[in-house]
Structure 1
Amino acid sequence: MSQHPAPDGSPVGTRVVHRRYVPYSHAHYAGNLVDGAYSLGLFGDVATELSIRVDGDEGLFASYDDVQFKAPVRAGDVLEVEAVLVRAGTRSRRLELEVRVVARGEPTAERPGAARVLAEPLVATTATGTVVVPG
């Protein structure tokens, strides 16, 4: 799901959302935890689509600021990943990024595929980032 630029032509406010199931093959630690780099990779994916929509180019991630790991991401989760363009310079784009858990696997011995949709999404990772595009 994505939202196109504002009616005034400004790209600020453009939003891109992806959803992704986290496979068990990505579990890296006890408790089926997934490493924090997984979220950063997803941020790169939504930032790339946002750059394509706004600038017609994939752009390049220049930096992340204030990365916060607020809750665990586990194998079996369904994630919603969002990028919002909050500032647009001549060549740089400032993004707010968020990973939310919207469903979580809850396997048991009797039901190894058990899972549930969360009543409220759980914010797992947040960051701000800067993407640059060719001049």
Structure 2
Amino acid sequence: MTVVHRRYVPRNAAHYSGKLVDGAYVLGLFSDAATEMCIRTDDDEGQFVGFTEVDFLEPVHTGDVIEAEATLVRVGNTSRQLAFEARVVCRSAEHIESRRPVADSTAHVLDEPLVVVRGTGTVVVE
């Protein structure tokens, strides 16, 4: 089973220069997808125990549209192991080298989603 959430990264989420977003933003998206997974599989919101692995592969910028996917990979008695992947599916033109912005609000759907974060984590349900 797979759950996918999409979210626009607002300008006020910038944490670093260059309109970069901190990694915790994506981990929050993974947590939200994990909650939906637990509701769908167990009728319970679940409790996130922790991440066992997280790889930050590419930067996330304000103006991005991110797709966070959670896939159920193992079911224990009360634990569920999930694999996560976050992809940028739309990006502000100012962060695409080959495209110049026409206006501050110029953005584009990417030809191929850009994988920005991968990880695994565990949740428990009652």
Task: Bin the TM-score by the shorter chain.
Answer: over 0.9
**Contact between 2:93 and 2:101, CA under 8 Å: does it hold in 1?**
no
For this pair of structures, how many residues does the alignment match? 121
1:70 pairs, out of 57, 63, 66, with 57
Q: Using structure 2 for the length normalisation, give the TM-score.
A: 0.93
| Structure 2 runs not aligned, ≥5 long | 95-99
2:106 pairs, out of 114, 118, 122, with 114
What CA distance in whole angstroms lies between the structure 2 residues aligned with 1:100 and 1:125?
7
2:9 maps to 1:17:
no
Shift of 1:110: 4.7
State the AA in 1 paired with 2:43.
Answer: G
Secondary structure in structure 2 of the residue aligned to 1:42: helix
Which residue in the other structure is 1:3 paired with? Answer: none
What CA distance in whole angstroms lies between the structure 1 residues aligned with 2:88 and 2:36?
21
2:89 maps to 1:89:
no
Spell out, residue by residue over 1:41-79, the C-alpha distance to the aligned partner (whole angstroms, 9 max, x if none). Answer: 000100000000000000001110110000000000000
What CA distance in whole angstroms lies between the structure 2 residues aligned with 1:65 and 1:105?
31
Secondary structure in structure 2 of the residue aligned to 1:52: helix
2:48 maps to 1:56:
no
State the AA in 1 paired with 2:25.
Answer: Y
State the AA in 2 paired with 1:88.
Answer: V
Moved more, 101-110 or 49-58: 101-110
C-alpha root-mean-square deviation of aligned residues, in Å? 1.1
What CA distance in whole angstroms lies between the structure 1 residues aligned with 2:101 and 2:75?
51
**Contact between 2:90 and 2:107, CA under 8 Å: does it hold in 1?**
yes
What CA distance in whole angstroms lies between the structure 2 residues aligned with 1:93 and 1:112?
42
Kindly indicate whether structure 1 or structure 2 has the higher relative contact order, using CA contacts under 8 Å at least 6 residues apart: 2
2:116 maps to 1:129:
no
Sequence identity percentage? 56
Secondary structure in structure 2 of the residue aligned to 1:39: helix
| Structure 1 runs not aligned, ≥5 long | 1-13
Q: Using structure 1 for the length normalisation, give the TM-score.
A: 0.87
Which stretches of structure 1, 4 residues or longer, exceed 3 Å deviation after superposition? 107-110
Spell out, residue by residue over 1:72-121, the C-alpha distance to the aligned partner (whole angstroms, 9 max, x if none). Answer: 00000000000000110110000000110001012477511001111110
What CA distance in whole angstroms lies between the structure 2 residues aligned with 1:31 and 1:102?
19
